[in-house]
Amino acid sequence: MIKEQQLVKALDNSEGIILITEPDGTIVFANKTFEKVYGYTREEVLGKKPSVLKSGFHPKKFYDELWQTLANGNNWSGDLVNRSKSGEIITERASISPIFSDDNAKITGYIAVKYNTSERKKLKAQLEAKEHLFEKLFENSPVGIFMLQALKQEGEVVDFLIDQANLKSSSIFNRISFIGQYLSGVLGNIDVPTLLREHHTEQHGEDVFEWEDLYKRKILEFKLFGLGGVQYCLLVTDVSAKVKMENRLKESEAHLRELNETKDKIFSIIAHDLRSPFQAIIGFASLLNDGIEEQSIPEIKMMARQISNMSEQTYKLLDDLLTWSRSQLGQLKAVPVKLNLKQLVEKCYNQLSMVADKKRIRLNCDVSETLFIKADKDMLEFIVRNLVHNGIKFTRNGGRVRCWAELEGSKALLHVEDTGIGIQEVKQKEIFSLSANLSTSGTSEEAGTGLGLMLSKQMVDLNNGKISVFSEPGKGSRFTISFDVLS
């Protein structure tokens, strides 16, 4: 026979909470686990009823039914929510059985074996909270997330089956359902083994696969990693907006650099090109002023010519600088009007006739009287004047500058052609932009600024037109501008 002491020891060592009561519920035994969980000493509960443990959670009816079941000689099992000595809520899974007399005639007491489920419940709640958090992160992530299962052949991953995909994935790939699809298909029939081979890296000792790809004009970044076994996770980030932003930054940086170069160029023009003609003008003028009587007529003529040339150059330079500054301030606005091209060319010829005469350069105009175009008057005059002026400047004495026009669809093309020195091919690409040291002197050492063509190009653009150059060094150049015809 097992001794009572041994029995108490065995019950004490049980992981379960054990309470033994008399038929009326008076506690006659409580084991050590009970003491540990509830914080009462055995002595404190002996002689008391289990109702001392009540938390108020269960209604009276609940206890009535419990006791009724037991009084009927049946077992009762279920979940109890009790309170410990310190007031802490204890949830337990209980199994209570009647103890019968030897002859089974009557109930001599009850034994309750209970397991504290508070910890387990807490863990479960924590787990659920984590799962909930993961779900929220998964669905609200700004990154596309795919949960994948690797498909292997002879140990090598050949494709992935999609188990789950979040909302963002749908918006990236413009489709609703992914589950059960092959990843290779979703990404546009890619070869998975090659992809994995080419994009493998190791991060913190783990295999990671990172690559970039285009998908329907989107730039996507991919990161694939294992989660253990055949489970994998693929993160997809749409970086199109970021790349666009970077490009815009690069563009604005280039624009700023260009503005800075322009500023340098303007300062150098002001410092040099504007000062030196003025020094010459002042020098000749004071020579004439101080001692005109001592000079011979040819000398006086020469000085007057120099003053006239320098003034002309300076005026042109100032005019260009003024136009340039207006263009920089964004004040250049095209006001398109109906213009007769022939009249416009002839007006420019008139303005430049003295310059052309000096070099005995013929100015020919083969433009139909009936050709009308739509453009800003001042701008078109500036452009044509500059092109003709350049034609004269870069053509040797006795040469020719010719303007002629033709129709091409809804556009009128005006060609300004000279028999001058021409432009080397490498330089042709640069002459419409402002770059340092581009300007060269004319055939009679006429100075320049390198501003004229750059401004002409800006104005042509503002008038919805185009400008181009065809030139053969030593033979001549042909500049062509195109504008909308006015029918």
Contact predicate 454/448, CB 8 Å = no
The residues of the shown chain that bind ligand ADP, judged by CB under 6 A, are 386, 390-391, 394, 418, 420-423, 431, 438-440, 448-454, 477
Residue 392 beta carbon to ligand ADP: minimum distance, rounded to whole angstroms:
9
Contact 98, 70 (CB under 8 A): yes
Beta-bridge partners for 365: 403
Distance (Å, whole) CA 113 – CA 283: 121
**Whole-number Å distance between alpha carbons of 62 and 283:** 120
Residue closer to ligand ADP, measured from CB, 192 or 454: 454
Structure tokens at 65: 């039914």
Of 277 and 450, nearer to ligand ADP (C-beta) is: 450
CB nearer to ligand ADP: pick between 98 and 448: 448
Q: How far apart are CA 400 and CA 360, in angstroms?
A: 9
Residue 150: both structure tokens together: 């690797």
Nearer to ligand ADP, 166 or 449 (CB): 449
Q: Which is nearer to ligand ADP, 168 or 385 (CB)?
A: 385
What's the number of CA atoms in the CB half-sphere (13 Å) around residue 127? Answer: 6
CA distances, 199 to each of 146, 157, 223, 229, 475 (Å) = 18, 14, 10, 20, 57
Nearer to ligand ADP, 111 or 438 (CB): 438
Q: How far is residue 180 from each of residues 169, 174, 177, 367, measured CA to CA in Å?
A: 15, 17, 9, 72
Q: For residue 310, which of 447, 198, 189, 187 has the smallest C-alpha distance?
A: 447
C-alpha 381/C-alpha 348 separation (Å) is: 7
Closest residue to bound ligand ADP by CB: 448
Closest approach of ligand ADP to the CB of residue 260, in Å? 19
| Residue 46, both tokens | 């002996």
In the complex, least distance from residue 186 CB atom to ligand ADP, rounded to whole angstroms: 55
Q: Tell me the H-state helices in 48-204.
A: 60-71, 118-140, 167-173, 183-186, 192-198
For ligand ADP, give the closer residue by CB, 244 or 360: 360
Least separation in angstroms between residue 469's CB and ligand ADP is 8
Q: What amino acid occupies position 449?
A: T
- By beta-carbon proximity to ligand ADP, the closer residue of 323 and 477 is 477
CB of 423 to ligand ADP, least distance (A): 4
Residue placing its CB nearer to ligand ADP in the complex, 147 or 460: 460
- What's 51's DSSP letter? G
Nearest approach in angstroms of CB 419 to ligand ADP is: 10
Find out whether 95 and 88 touch, Cβ atoms under 8 Å: no
Give least dist CB 452 to ligand ADP, A: 3
Shortest distance in whole angstroms from residue 365 CB to ligand ADP: 17
CB of 450 to ligand ADP, least distance (A): 4
Q: Calculate Rg over the CA atoms of the chain.
A: 49
